Amino acid sequence: MAFPQVEGVAPGSPAEAAGIEVGDEIRAMNGSSLRDVIEYRLAADGATVGLELGRNGATFEVVVAKHAGEPLGLSLSAAIFDRVTTCDNHCAFCFIRQLPRGLRRSLYVPDDDYRLSFLYGNFTTLTRLTELDLERIVAERLSPLYVSIHATDPAIRAGLLRNRRGATSLRWLARLLDHGIEVHGQVVVCPGVNDGAVLDDTMAGIAERFPRLASVGVVPVGVSRFSSEATIRAHTADEVAAVLDVVEAWQERFHAALRRRLVFAADEYYLLAGRPFPEPACYEGFPQQENGIGMAAAFGAAFGAAAGRRPGATGGLSRAVDGAPALGYRAPRGAAPLKPSGGQLRPAGAGRPVTILTGAYGHKVLRPLLDRAGFGDVATVAVANSYFGGNIAVTGLLTFADLARAVSVVPGDRRVLVPAVCLSNGRFLDGPAPGDLPRAVEIVPDDGASLRRALAGEGAGRAAVPAGRTAR
Ligand code: SF4
């Protein structure tokens, strides 16, 4: 087991006062070694915290006195200190297996770890969950969790996961729900495999066995040009419409039975079908916005709202966890916010014409929104994702390579806005940072209110990044 390393010490924090330094290893807290950041947070919660630290080959002890519940003030090198539980499935639709070589190593980790589900909202199939894991989840109330269902028919689910344990691992879902753990599910729809009658049967299975699920997201399979799976393909137009019909029919049934819709289709389905998005209230608090469900409705509502507050939305694609960085492609997006200067931050060059770079789906959402709101002079560029190819059109998977090409043809007198969702820990998926782009850009947070403020020149709350400088 690796010991967590201190990567940051908050100025003025109890940890700084106790002399803890960047680079120190935490070998134990309150006499016990730590498996993960969840145990760290529990151990750090009390009024007196004993730490066994390693520094320059020596081990020494520190006792920190603070208020109970007060943060210790450390950021750590990882979230999991023993070993991330990797999945034992071989899903044909796995996006990790469709990634090209050369991306960050963490992107290739096929985790199936309930702890990452709790910390970052990663979906787990539960095929590797154990009785001890369940006991810990229940004892420590590790809730909510996110579970990949895909199909409730045992044979079909095992076939989708290409793992015989897929046939039985939903028994854990029933037990989690029995213990009052909040669980959100998802169904990744692969046309010809688990759509049509299978999707209908899955909805019936959820109604019968798992009606206490907090929500279920239905999302289309992503197919990159690197996929070598013959059975995996994008939906046809008819298949898109049929999925929406199944979801909407079951929304009505669930609403009649449970007074809530429970199941929601991804925004991508509405865009592909050319159907209007449901009203924001239909998303019942946006429980799966980070899964691309209700994102457009929440964005539009926030963009239009004078106060600029998102209606019941969570942190968009920017889920932050106390104490440790995220892993993989769910890492916190964007760069650190700029501190307001004199109460307002005005981006350099405010008043100049604006161009927004976005993905093909983002463009379909943004363009009508801007036109309706009187921002017809704001240009939007639908950046094609030639890096991943296939049917990948979400803004969050745009890479430096494609954005650099797009930004280089924007006239020099324009401000260029880039959505923060394209970044992960300040870098694009393929490695470079905004400062490496051939010209200056402004990074705008993922919500409609921030975009509106940026367009009005009131300050997007994010750094304008000159070319040749890396955003921190
Ligand atoms: S469970 Fe997830 S990570 Fe594992 S193979 Fe399936 S899609 Fe990939």
Q: Is 59 exposed, middle or buried (0-12, 13-18, 19+ CB in 10 A)?
A: exposed
Number of the ligand 1 atom closest to the C-alpha atom of 111: 3
Ligand 1: residues whose CB is within 6 Å?
Answer: 87, 89-91, 94, 96, 110, 112, 125
Number of the ligand 1 atom closest to the C-alpha atom of 125: 1
Q: Measured in angstroms, how far is the CA atom of residue 224 from the centroid of ligand 1?
A: 15
Number of the ligand 1 atom closest to the C-alpha atom of 87: 4
pLDDT of residue 457: 77
Q: Measured in angstroms, how far is the CA atom of residue 87 from the centroid of ligand 1?
A: 6
Number of the ligand 1 atom closest to the C-alpha atom of 110: 3
Q: Which protein residue's CA is at the shortest distance from atom 6 of ligand 1?
A: 91
Q: Measured in angstroms, how far is the CA atom of residue 90 from the centroid of ligand 1?
A: 6
Q: Measured in angstroms, how far is the CA atom of residue 125 from the centroid of ligand 1?
A: 8
Residues 6+ apart with CB under 8 A from 230: none
d(Cα 100, Cα 269) in Å, to the nearest integer? 26
Pocket test for ligand 1, best of 112, 113, 146, 157 (most atoms within 8 A of CB): 112
Q: Is 427 within 8 Å of 418 (Cβ atoms)?
A: no
Q: Which protein residue's CA is at the shortest distance from atom 8 of ligand 1?
A: 94
Pocket test for ligand 1, best of 85, 94, 106 (most atoms within 8 A of CB): 94
What global pTM score does this model have? 0.86
Q: Is 107 exposed, middle or buried (0-12, 13-18, 19+ CB in 10 A)?
A: middle
3-class SS at 92? coil
Q: Measured in angstroms, how far is the CA atom of residue 96 from the centroid of ligand 1?
A: 7
Number of the ligand 1 atom closest to the C-alpha atom of 123: 2
Number of the ligand 1 atom closest to the C-alpha atom of 93: 7
Residue closest to 185 by CA, chosen among 121, 239, 252, 257: 121
pLDDT of residue 333: 36
Tokens 């966890």, residue located: 321
Q: What angle do CA 233, 237, 239 make, to 5 degrees?
A: 65
Pocket test for ligand 1, best of 114, 161, 194 (most atoms within 8 A of CB): 161
Q: Measured in angstroms, how far is the CA atom of residue 348 from the centroid of ligand 1?
A: 43
Residue ranges, the chain, pLDDT below 70: 1, 306-350, 458-472
Q: Measured in angstroms, how far is the CA atom of residue 160 from the centroid of ligand 1?
A: 10
What phi, psi does 188 have (nearest 5°)? -90, 120
Q: Which protein residue's CA is at the shortest distance from atom 7 of ligand 1?
A: 94
Q: Measured in angstroms, how far is the CA atom of residue 291 from the centroid of ligand 1?
A: 16
Q: Measured in angstroms, how far is the CA atom of residue 217 from the centroid of ligand 1?
A: 17
Question: What angle separates helix 295-304 from helix 448-455, to the nearest 10 degrees?
Answer: 40
C-alpha pair distances (Å), 210 with each of 154, 187, 202, 250, 287: 14, 14, 11, 14, 17
Pocket test for ligand 1, best of 91, 99, 111 (most atoms within 8 A of CB): 91
**What is the pairing mode between strands 74-76 and 6-9?**
antiparallel
Q: Measured in angstroms, how far is the CA atom of residue 40 from the centroid of ligand 1?
A: 28
Q: Measured in angstroms, how far is the CA atom of residue 220 from the centroid of ligand 1?
A: 15
- How many residues comprise the chain? 472
Question: What angle separates helix 295-304 from helix 360-372, to the nearest 10 degrees?
Answer: 30
Q: Which protein residue's CA is at the shortest distance from atom 3 of ligand 1?
A: 110
Rounded to an integer, what is the distance from CA 307 to the centroid of its chain?
Answer: 25
